[in-house]
Amino acid sequence: MELTAAKRVLLAGNEAVARGAHEAAVGVATGYPGTPSTEVLEALAVYQGADVRWSANEKVALDVAAGASFGGVRAIATMKHVGLNVAADTFMTLAYTGVGAGLVVVSADDPGMHSSQNEQDNRVYARFAGVPLLEPGDSQEAKDFTRLAFDISETFDTPVLLRYTTRIAHTRGLVELGEIVEQPVPGFRRDPRKYVMLPANARARRPAVLARLDRLTWYVEESALTQVHERGSEVAVVTSGICYQYVREVLPEVSILKLGITHPLPVERIRAFAGGRRTFVVEESGPFLEEALLGAGIPVVGKEFFPRIGEMTPEDVREGFARAGIGGCALPTADEGGGQPVLPAAPPRPPVLCPGCPHAIPFMALRQARAVVAGDIGCYTLAALAPLEAMDTCVAMGCSIGMAVGLAASGGATGPVTAAIGDSTFLHSGIPALIEAVCSRANITVVILDNGITAMTGGQHHPGTGTTLRGAAAPAVDLVSLCRAAGVEHVEVVDPYDIGAVHTAVRQANQFPGPAVVITNRPCVEAPVKIRDRPYQVIPGACIGCQLCMNIGCPSITWGDTWYDGLRVVTVDASTCTGCTVCAQMCPAGAMTPVAGWEARPGG
Ligand SMILES: Cc1ncc(C[n+]2csc(CCOP(=O)(O)OP(=O)(O)O)c2C)c(N)n1
């Protein structure tokens, strides 16, 4: 449902960013999915007007957004923190070219690594590139700052980095909606000295980047995005983003300078605010603000008392101040009106592949082949865990094939070298490494786990899916043709539910001299539609308790406390079984049988 103006609505930070972009009349919105950024584009797609699309990867997303901006249309590119590493090449030089119409880059960082392979503080990218950095502290600011970021981008002819963290991205808050500000579309203005970064042109733009930073510094010193809450306390706190809420909660009486723009910094304003008081910097992740202020000669303390690892919590802030001899105020408990009652922690559950996940059997085959498996990032990374335990490396998106090439080159692998990569990841950044494998005649097998979707981040389409973000039909990249066109001679497509066929395909690929590709071709059982085929059950008395089926790691199969005729047996939970047949194929006793009288369940 499209939201109308002059209303206050509850929005998560990501939805608020989408609303801000919509109010700023964004024309082109691009991105690549990744927690905690994914919902921005999904929320933007609900509004009519803009061209909203998932791109093949973050660099392509930023290239498309930059092209649109050069063409005179406001554009936004969204990504998670590691996505900006992928887009960094473009990002760094966009600081030189500047923009046509407003260009905003959203980086949603994941301190604590709820769903990421590392934690990195992407504020440093703004300093690195020399571009302005906005850090919203709640949903209202997420909307307002996004909108303002387009204006700043145009006023100062610069891309703007909008950076926030998981709590802001996923926490809901009341947001007052605004009107949509229609934008003129001037079209592309040819200007090679600005847009063609030949060394001679780039050298000429370098001083422009620094001059712009100077102008931005004057702007920031005056900006209303810096809020000073002076309460006359003996200590002073400089903070930004979500940490502002935590400081207010823990020390309601302390004087706070809350930053909205964190690069460049309003150094003189902060110096005046600190005014010789004991000044604390409370910030999540690295000592980004602290180092900048120390560098400017403002004596502050921060990471001496507050953690630099993981997500900051109000408790961390309270403890930090307590260590510094300040406050000592406990956070209010639920009884004292401190919010939700503290619920008992849920028992830890190891993450597992879904029942019927088509990724399980290829990894069983790889393990049986004693392959050394360079893995990649996606749902299938869970194959590194028990019971599959069939992945030996996993570093960053798209690394698997290149790492397999290197492992093969090392001569140190103890078995056939294999790369295992999902379809979205292959299209994101696997293709160049496959070309490298071909050109270096690397003796590797590449297993492309094609489930038709970007499952890990919630089922977004990708260039092989055949749909657009808004669900319209689109041309789909054919992976077989793509691999053949790259020069791979041995390409085989196999049904991952057919255990025998998968084993044969892996064996043949391993025997092939040079790079070989095996593509598994079953759709994800959860997205875009839930696949629920006739479920299986265990025939009473037929199970011999061998537990072979437990090796699949299917959560529908349990080895619990079920006994039959004095023998402990497995059970299949028919309510979650998707009917993939894999356990029935594996069972040496023929103990798995389809449930009789089954009818398709809703969503099946
Ligand atoms: C550079 C980067 N961008 C985005 C992500 C978030 N992410 C992790 S895996 C993945 C794609 C998974 O899709 P696919 O390879 O098809 O595997 P599936 O989950 O469908 O099995 C994404 C988008 C990331 N970790 N790194």
Instruction: For ligand 1, atom 1, name the residue with the nearest CA.
Output: 83
Q: Report the distance separating Cα 78 and Cα 65, nearest Å.
A: 10
Q: Is the CB of 422 under 6 A from ligand 1?
A: yes
Q: What's the 428 CA to ligand 1 centre distance in angstroms?
A: 9
pLDDT at 4 (0 to 100): 57
CATH 3.40.50.920 fits 227-323, yes or no: yes
10-residue stretch averages of pLDDT, the chain, 604 residues long: 70 98 98 98 96 98 98 98 98 98 98 94 98 98 98 98 97 96 91 97 96 98 97 97 96 97 98 97 97 98 97 96 81 54 74 95 98 98 96 98 98 97 98 98 98 97 96 97 98 98 98 98 95 95 96 95 94 96 98 87 51
Question: Going by CA atoms, what residue is nearest to atom 4 of ligand 1?
Answer: 34
Q: How far is the CA of 365 from the centre of ligand 1 (A)?
A: 23
Sequential DSSP letters for 533-575:
---EEEPTTT--S--GGGGG--TTEE-SS-EETTEE--EE-TT
Q: Which spans in 117-189 are helix H?
A: 123-129, 139-156, 166-170
479 lines ligand 1 (CB under 6 A): no
Q: Atom 20, ligand 1: which residue's CA is nearest?
A: 455
pLDDT for position 602? 52
Decide: helix, strand or coil at residue 360.
helix
Q: Is the CB of 34 under 6 A from ligand 1?
A: yes
**β-sheet bridge partners, residue 108:** 80, 164
The CATH architecture that domain 360-520 belongs to is: 3-Layer(aba) Sandwich (3.40)
d(CA 388, CA 396): 21
Please tell me the predicted confidence (pLDDT) of residue 350.
79
Q: What is the pLDDT of residue 604?
A: 45
Ligand 1 site, residue 535, Cβ cutoff 6 A: no
Instruction: For Cα atoms 581, 583, 589, give the angle at the middle one, nearest 5 degrees.
Output: 115
Q: Is any ligand 1 atom within 6 A of the Cβ of residue 380? A: yes
Which mutation among 397, 449, 521, 524 tests ligand 1's pocket best, with the greatest number of atoms within 8 A of CB? Answer: 397
**Would you give the DSSP letter of residue 430?**
I
Residue 39 contacts residue 12 (beta carbons within 8 Å): yes
Nearest CA to ligand 1 atom 16: 424
End-to-end CA distance of the chain: 26
Residue with tokens 């082109």: 28
Residue whose Cα lies nearest atom 7 of ligand 1: it is 34
> What pLDDT was estimated at residue 346?
79
- Confirm or reject: Cβ of 80 under 6 Å from ligand 1: yes
Minimum-distance ligand 1 atom for the alpha carbon of 33: 23
Distance 202 CA to ligand 1 centre (A): 34
Give the CB-side neighbour count of residue 20, counting CA atoms within 13 A: 29
Ligand 1 within 6 A of 397 CB? yes
| Residue of 82, 424, 449, 465 to test ligand 1 pocket, by largest number of atoms within 8 Å of CB | 424
**451 C-beta closer than 6 A to ligand 1:** yes
How remote is the CA of residue 42 from the centroid of ligand 1, in Å?
16
Return the ligand 1 atom nearest residue 425 CA. Answer: 15
d(CA 41, CA 15): 9
Report how far residue 334's alpha carbon sits from residue 40's, in angstroms, rounded to the nearest whole number.
33
Please indicate whether residue 460, judged by its CB atom, sits closer than 6 Å to ligand 1.
no
Cβ neighbors of 27 (< 8 A, separation 6 or more) are 49, 50, 51, 68, 73, 74, 75, 101, 183, 185
**Rounded Cα gap, residues 55 and 60, in angstroms:** 6
* 562-591: burial string, b at 16+ Cβ within 10 Å, e else: eeeeeeebbbbebeebbbbbbbbebbeeeb
Q: Are 133 and 213 in contact (CB under 8 A)?
A: no
Q: Say which CATH architecture domain 8-222 belongs to.
A: 3-Layer(aba) Sandwich (3.40)
Name the token pair of 257: 């300078």
Give 359 Cα–ligand 1 centroid separation in angstroms: 14
Q: Do domains 360-520 and 536-594 have the same CATH topology?
A: no
168 contacts 142 by C-beta, under 8 angstroms: yes
Nearest 5 degrees, angle CA 392-CA 395-CA 398?
Answer: 105
d(CA 366, CA 446): 11
Q: What is the three-state SS of 364-405? A: HHHHHCCCEEECCCCHHHHHHCCCCCCCCECCCCCHHHHHHH
Do 145 and 227 meet the contact criterion of CB atoms below 8 Å apart?
no
User: DSSP label at 343?
Assistant: P
Fold entry, domain 536-594: Alpha-Beta Plaits (3.30.70)
Give every CB contact of residue 170 below 8 A, 6+ residues apart in sequence.
12, 13, 14, 36
The alpha carbon of 355 and the centre of ligand 1 are apart by a number of angstroms equal to 20
Domain residues of the chain, as ranges?
8-222, 227-323, 360-520, 536-594
- The span from the CA of 100 to the CA of 597, in Å, is 63
Question: For ligand 1, what atom is nearest to the CA of residue 380?
Answer: 21
Phi, psi of 125 (to 5 degrees): -65, -35
Ligand 1 centroid–CA 55 distance in Å is 13
Residue 103 near residue 242 (C-beta atoms within 8 A): no
CB of 423 shorter than 6 A to ligand 1: yes
Pocket-testing residue among 456, 460, 462, ligand 1, by greatest number of atoms within 8 A of Cβ: 456
Instruction: List the beta bridge partners of residue 99.
Output: none
**Token pair of 190, please?**
């040819």
CB of 82 closer than 6 A to ligand 1? Answer: yes
Residue 134 is classified by DSSP as E
Atom index in ligand 1 nearest the CA of residue 82 equals 1
Number of the ligand 1 atom closest to the C-alpha atom of 429: 1
Encoding tokens for residue 92?
Answer: 């760094």
* Phi, psi of 333, rounded to the nearest 5 degrees: -85, 175
Ligand 1 pocket, mutate which of 79, 109, 359, 377 (most atoms under 8 A from CB): 377
